[in-house]
Chain A
Amino acid sequence: KNEVEQSPQNLTAQEGEFITINCSYSVGISALHWLQQHPGGGIVSLFMLSSGKKKHGRLIATINIQEKHSSLHITASHPRDSAVYICAVGLFGGSQGNLIFGKGTKLSVKP
């Protein structure tokens, strides 16, 4: 069983829809990261959180430590949000800087 599970693997939405991507993990963590990767490579760190909720523009990330679950929400989705969204966790006592990555959720937002 993977230590970090994301769902769904693929998601297609119409512009303007509210989107939720889920991440579940099975280990004790120091932090959870949400990353965005557009086609062609570069990765952008969207959020790093260890408790509660963070908001940046149309993006909201929540984490429930007891349930070992995090969600990334996108409100009023736009075609430019089309990307792969990756959940990654850092372990307590893990190798320095070594994150465990989920397999990613590929999001396509149609105009």
Chain B
Amino acid sequence: DTEVTQTPKHLVMGMTNKKSLKCEQHMGHRAMYWYKQKAKKPPELMFVYSYEKLSINESVPSRFSPECPNSSLLNLHLHALQPEDSALYLCASSLQRAATNEKLFFGSGTQLSVL
């Protein structure tokens, strides 16, 4: 299994809703990442988990709350989002550590629309 699985694929939510994005991998990878990608722009790193501990939070607003319950799962909890948060949210993983010379495996993303 060489996949990173993200659910849901699409999500529409209101500004008062609470929702969660889920990411799962069974490759034994110990680093997992959340990226945000606006249309026609490159991905922007949001969070990095290394060995299930949050190692990087790239100044992301608190309305985004990551969680890593175990080494295979990564969640992104969403609350009180703004329309400008509408984007493609990508999860990725890498084998050993959160390093820039590790190959990244990406999921297919969750396309989020905030109304």
Q: Are A30 and B101 in contact (CB under 8 A)?
A: yes
Residues of B within 8 A of A99 (CB): 45, 100, 104
Q: Is B12 an interface residue (CB 8 A)?
A: no
A9 to chain B, nearest CB (A): 10
Residues on B with C-beta less than 8 A from A50 are 101
Which of the candidate stretches A17-25, A36-44, A63-71, A72-80 sits at the interface with the other chain?
Answer: A36-44
A96-B43 CB under 8 A given contacts A42-B108, A45-B103, A45-B104: no
Check: B50 CB closer than 8 A to any chain A CB: yes
Interface residues on chain B, number (Cβ under 8 Å): 29
A45 and B45 contact, CB distance less than 8 A: no
Of B58, B98, B99, B104, the residue contacting A33 (CB under 8 A) is B104
Does any Cβ of B come within 8 Å of A86's Cβ? yes
* A96 touching B56 in the complex, CB below 8 Å, given contacts A30-B101, A50-B101, A90-B99: yes
Which of A30, A44, A104 lies in contact with B106, CB distance below 8 A?
A: A44
In the assembled complex, 13 residue pairs joining A and B whose CB atoms fall closer than 8 Å, in A order, are A33-B103, A40-B108, A41-B108, A41-B111, A43-B106, A45-B104, A90-B99, A96-B50, A96-B98, A96-B100, A97-B56, A97-B99, A97-B102
